[in-house]
Amino acid sequence: MEKIMISANTMEARVSAINSILEENGAEFTAEFVKVWKNNHELEGYTLRSATHNCSPTIYSGEWLNADDESVAAYLMNLYDENAIDFDIASVLSWEYILKNVKPKLISATNADGLKARNIVTVPFLDMLISFYIPISGLPGNAMGSIQVTEMLLKNADISVEELHSMALKNLENDIRVQSMGEILAEMMGNTFDSCGTELPMYVISNVSRVNGAAAILSKNTLKRVGGLLGEHIAILPSSIHECIAIGYRTEDDLHSMIEMVRSINATVVDIDDRLTDNVYIYVNGELKAFT
């Protein structure tokens, strides 16, 4: 059979032709073009909708889109077969489950308009935003997923933003990991790493999974702990949305140099999805402040 060539150069324009091929092949789902806001930008993708399963995958634009329409349709069918499941969604959207499991996530304030347009709940924190997510398990391949907390979700569960915020910070305390740079290097290199009895004077603050772990700096207990490790003058560098680095400093010139370093790394190394801010933060008198 002659392959059907790419019918258009955008996901939205191609979805009709791809759905025609899916129908011809007896697929039990259709591809729905969606736009989703994720960490600093909008993503385009296909959600694979089905009357058979209530939990189907969403896939975002990537190299797979360079194939012809027939190959894309085949790719989506394989993806659906491997990931579509029936899931008790009501159980993870209940008042009890949400408050017991909700976690905070730190993101750049540049996301404000995109999140507001999608009614996603946020709370300001310094020059950043806190959003909230509900982890879910039981997905194919033991994968972990999450649900973003929206205004509609809170309304249906009869939860206030203040209550959500408070419980998210409480849940955070059980998921924080603080490691010295020496410990990180030892993990990466195994027993071959020898710090020769010296510790690098910086600590990585994250969570156990190292996903969305920068939110650990919302914990006053964690900042107090780091203060005990590093002394009076502590700077917090936002490595990404996944982790922050705590390091001592002596002068404001040190802090300005750190800001330049963070900006340079963000611009050249950190993926746009993972960027948090270009700022540096200082821990002073039990409080975290932006250094500007």
pTM of the entire predicted model:
0.86
| Residue-wise DSSP of 267-288 | HHTS-GGG---S-EEEEETTEE
User: Residue 235: exposed, middle, or buried by beta-carbon count in 10 A (0-12, 13-18, 19+)?
Assistant: buried
DSSP state of 241: T
Pair 32, 15: CB distance under 8 Å: yes
Give the pLDDT band of residue 190 (cuts 50, 70, 90).
low
- How much is the pLDDT for 198? 47
pLDDT at 192 over 60: no
Q: How far apart are CA 88 and CA 18, in angstroms?
A: 30
Cα distance between residue 160 and residue 157, in whole Å: 9
**Is the per-residue pLDDT at 174 higher than 60?**
yes
Residue 88 banded pLDDT, cuts 50, 70, 90: confident
Amino acid at 122: T
What is the Cα–Cα distance from 213 to 103, expressed in whole angstroms?
10
Label residue 1 by pLDDT band (50, 70, 90). very low
How many angstroms separate the Cα of 241 from the Cα of each of 74, 129, 140, 207, 237? 34, 11, 26, 11, 11
Q: Following DSSP, what letter does each residue of 122-147 receive, concatenated?
A: EEEETTEEEEEEEEE---GGG--EEE
> Per residue, what are the HEC states of 142-199?
HCCEEEECEHHHHHHHCCCHHHHHHHHHHHHHHHEEEEEHHHHHHHHHHHHCCCCCCC
Q: What is the pLDDT of residue 92?
A: 84
